[in-house]
């Protein structure tokens, strides 16, 4: 499995992030405030584990709240299409295999977890959604 270089800074990702942040913060929502970001260590590995009430907006809120390029772990079934997988890797999203993906695929997680350790060692934030799904209840 080719994971790409999600831990490295990407200028194309940075440009897309600036554009998307403008649309998110100024056009779609008109006014967005981020609270508590000063409590997130700047030069240390950070594992972020928020709740997941909305499939896309949860991730965008985290991406736009922090200055660093964040790596996400997501369920592997969204990576089945090769073109979609390329886009997800560009967006710094890595697959995590679950029992429902097949017992034989669980061993692929070792590669993902080793990559995640590399990312954390480079002091890049990693996001996991503990529920492993989005839930519309608080």
CA–CA separation, 52 vs 15, rounded Å?
26
Which pair of tokens denotes residue 9? 């800074």
Q: Is residue 38 part of a domain?
A: no
Q: Whole domain around residue 102: which residue ranges? A: 11-33+45-127
Q: What is the pLDDT of residues 49-69, one digit of tens each?
A: 987 777 778 889 899 999 999
Asked if residue 4 belongs to a domain, the reply is: no
Total domains, the chain: 1
Q: What is the pLDDT of residue 65?
A: 92
Q: Is residue 93 part of a domain?
A: yes
The whole-model pTM stands at: 0.86
Least confident range from 30-34, 39-43, 50-54: namely 50-54
Q: Is residue 115 part of a domain?
A: yes
- Assess if residue 40 is contained within a domain: no
* Domain-embedded: residue 119: yes
Cα(8)–Cα(15) distance, integer angstroms: 15
Pairing relation of β-strands 93-96 and 71-75? parallel
Three-point CA angle 49, 55, 59, nearest 5°: 50
Considering the domain boundaries, does residue 56 fall inside one? yes
Q: Is residue 116 part of a domain?
A: yes
Rounded alpha-carbon distances, angstroms, from residue 95 to 63, 89, 132, 135: 18, 9, 12, 20
Condensed to tens digits (0 to 9), the pLDDT of residues 10-22 reads 999 999 999 999 9
DSSP string, 75-114: EGGGG-SHHHHHHHHHTTEEEE--GGG-GGGGGGHHHHHH
Position of tokens 């700047």?
42
């Amino acid at each position: 499995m080719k994971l790409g270089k999600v831990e490295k800074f990407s200028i194309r990702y940075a440009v897309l992030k600036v554009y998307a942040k403008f649309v998110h913060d100024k056009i779609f929502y008109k006014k967005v405030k981020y609270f508590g970001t000063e409590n997130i260590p700047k030069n240390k590995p950070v594992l972020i584990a928020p709740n997941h009430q909305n499939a896309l907006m949860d991730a965008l809120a985290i991406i736009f709240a922090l200055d660093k390029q964040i790596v996400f772990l997501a369920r592997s079934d969204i990576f089945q299409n090769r073109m979609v997988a390329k886009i997800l890797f560009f967006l710094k999203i890595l697959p995590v295999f679950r029992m429902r993906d097949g017992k034989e695929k669980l061993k692929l997680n070792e590669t993902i977890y080793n990559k995640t350790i590399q990312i954390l060692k480079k002091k890049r934030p990693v996001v996991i959604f503990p529920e492993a799904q989005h839930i519309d209840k608080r």
